[in-house]
Chains A and B, each alone.
Chain A
Amino acid sequence: MRRTLAIAALLFAASAQAETPRDFLTRFEKEAGAAASAERGARFFTSKQGGEWSCASCHTDKPTQAGRHAKTDKPITPLAPATNAERFTDAAKVDKWFRRNCNDTLNRICSAQEKADVMAWLLAQK
């Protein structure tokens, strides 16, 4: 029990530090217990799954480019780390937007595997 607490504390401390996009891929793969697939990530990102929107509705299917909010029209800077160095550097921000955007597109939160796949695909965009 004590050891689990210590590990949890360590993980927490680690997540409070600035992170790199690769760290998120590692974290989601570990949580999923399986390797990511960029190909699956691409399909997930660009197709609607019951809801009104897909991820691409706001982020476009070329996430190296800027997108637009599907409802408000406000410009959104690119999601791919290759063209936007601010992306995937803050765990609280990443978790918050995965929670919100998955809810909006799927009506549920995303699984660790889905997040890992999306990360792998975004990292492959150059």
Chain B
Amino acid sequence: MKTLIALPALLVFLALPAHADNYSVPKNAAFEEECTSCHMAFPPQMLHADSWRAMMNGLSKHFGTDASLDEKRRAAITDFLVANANGRKTGTTRDAAGNPLLRITETARFEKKHSEISAATFKRASIKSPANCTACHRQAAAGDYNERSINIPK
């Protein structure tokens, strides 16, 4: 009987560390349709609400491309991002002057986690850009950034 109680507790315990690093994106049809056509789904948890609002106010000039949306969709997706922003390990997403950063790859947390990767590595033809998370994090589209699924391509 005691083992029967202990077993579920052990399973929960084992599941915890993996879960803490899981950035799976909550289901949202509008976000999926509009924000995953040019790149994978960047997790809403990785930026603060101010950063998402600033990005969603400039979609016609979105990192060198036009990602403009009709107003209804834009507002709905902004609400979704804001509601799911600010994961527990996000850290600050503002620059030195206090303005919201628009890129996850410019945040202090990203720089800290990738301090061992050189600029040249990020520029490899097989990677192209630090924003190309899936090049190294094979399961990134599913929100998994765990070390065991990392493979830096040559």
Give residues in A with beta carbon < 8 Å to B.
69, 71-74, 96, 99-101, 103-104
Q: Does B30 contact A (CB under 8 A)?
A: no
| Size of B's binding interface in residues, CB under 8 A | 16
B62-88 with Cβ < 8 A to chain A = 63-69
In-complex Cβ contact of B66 among A69, A71, A73, A99 (8 A): A99
A101 to B40, CA, bound (A): 19
A99 to B66, CA, bound (A): 8
A27 to B40, CA, bound (A): 33
Beyond contacts A71-B38, A96-B69, A103-B66: 5 other A-B pairs, Cβ-Cβ < 8 A, are A69-B39, A71-B129, A72-B131, A99-B68, A100-B66
- Is A73's CB under 8 angstroms from B38's CB? no
- Is B38's CB under 8 angstroms from A72's CB? yes
In-complex Cβ contact of B65 among A71, A73, A74, A96 (8 A): A71
Which 3 A-B residue pairings sit nearest by Cβ, starting from the closest? A103-B66, A100-B66, A72-B39
- Is A104's CB under 8 angstroms from B38's CB? no
- Is A73's CB under 8 angstroms from B68's CB? no
Q: Does B135 contact A (CB under 8 A)?
A: yes
A96 to B63, CA, bound (A): 18
- Chain A residues near B64 (CB-CB < 8 A): 71
A96 to B73, CA, bound (A): 12
